[in-house]
Each structure stands twice: as C-alpha cells, then as structure tokens.
Amino acid sequence: MKRFATLLGGLHLLLLALPLSAATAKNDIQEFKLKNGMKVLILKDDSIPNANMYTFWKVGSRNELPGITGLSHFFEHMMFNGSKNFPPGSFDTTMEAAGGSNNAYTSNDVTVYTNWFPTSAFSTIVDLEADRIANLALDDKKIDSERGVVLSERSTGLENDPWEELSIVVRSTAFLAHPYSWPVIGWETDIKAWTKADLQKYFDTYYNPANAVMVVVGDVDPK
C-alpha cells in the first residue's frame, strides 16, 4: 500500500507552481502528470471562491469477472467507510464541516468521486482523498456490514423495480457473455460470496494513481 502514499501528496505543490511535468494550455485547461502517474486537469474559474474536484477511476463493472460482480460498486461504498486514520463517516462529516459536499457513482466503465467545497478547504479535501486511497480500511467487520447495505440497496432498487428487471433482461440478451450483461451492482450470489482477499486484489489492481484522472475546476491557480 506504500505506493499509494503519494497519490495526491504532490497536488499541494502542483497548485503552488511546482508542476511535475510540462503543463499545456488547451482552452485554458492546464494538464499535468504527477510522478505517481495520476493525470490532473485544472481549469481556473474565480467567479466564486469554490472548487469542484472529480476523480475518475478507470474501473467499472466491465472489469469484473463472474464470481466477483459488483465489486466496483462496492468500493464506491467502502471509500466512505473509514480508513486506518479516520473512522467511518468521517469523510462526510469533515467535508460538511468545511462547507462542502460530496458524492460518487459507478458505471460500466468508470467509478467517479465528486467533491464540491470552498477553496479554503482545498488542502483538507486533498488530504482526505489521499488518505482513503493509501489507508482504506478493509477489515472483515466493515466488509460484512457494507455487504448488507449493498444487498438491501439491490433488493429495493433493482429487484422491486420493473424497469430495472427489464434492463437486466435486455442487457443479458444484447451482450450475452460480455461484462455489460450483468447489473453494475452485481449478482446477489456474488455479493454474498466476496472474500477480503477478492477485495484487496481488486483494489490493488485498479485503485492505483496511474489508473485515475483528477479534474479540478474553480478558484485554484496552477501557476
């Protein structure tokens, strides 16, 4: 996990005029690549003292295999469920205390984490993002607890929704053996059967800085 330690550490310096590679202006968008491999795009907009930060991880249900379907969506949950340094829920409470808000979503192709906050809280938000990648808590108790949450979400949002049921039938017919054939939330049997080892392997494979693109728009100055 040490390779994650510098996930966003360089971003503070990046915004203080220490780009780690040549920046290129394209429609006022500044593009950087951090030493850890993460691509960062910055668009300055000082109309209000706020910023939006979107982190796109190039992993979705298409990266899964039969037996581990739903893992991408599950990590969307786990990323808000505490780390070795912060208890569950602290990401949300810290964000709200700083005057910001956040969300996340998972699709077939990407998992996206979104943050909106006052520019004054920028360093705090960067620290939170870096910490949950470097120190995400994957202990059995938290996994089992969140597993129950996801199963409940699946039951209410998929199994009891006729349109979702229709979508499953259409997908399974249209894509056959392709990963697009299963729902992003995963199959119930797989959700119940995941092991901690499955989660750790998936996390180590896809949650590395080189597999992400961070987009920051707002009252920040890359120069």
Residue 136, strand partner residues? 83
Distance of alpha carbon 201 from alpha carbon 71, whole angstroms: 11
| Active-site residue flag, 76 | yes
Distance of alpha carbon 115 from alpha carbon 129, whole angstroms: 10
Which residue in 86, 168, 159, 162 sits closest to 127, CA to CA?
86
Distance of alpha carbon 1 from alpha carbon 204, whole angstroms: 8
Which residue in 101, 194, 105 sits closest to 142, CA to CA?
194
Q: Which residues contact 191 (CB under 8 A, 6 or more apart)?
A: 69, 70, 74, 147, 150, 151, 154, 185
Q: Residue 222 in contact with residue 16, Cβ under 8 Å? A: no
**Cα–Cα distances in Å, from 174 out to 61, 167, 212?**
16, 10, 29
Which residue in 133, 102, 129 sits closest to 117, CA to CA?
102
Catalytic position from the list 64, 76, 159, 188: 76
> Which residues does the annotation mark as catalytic?
76
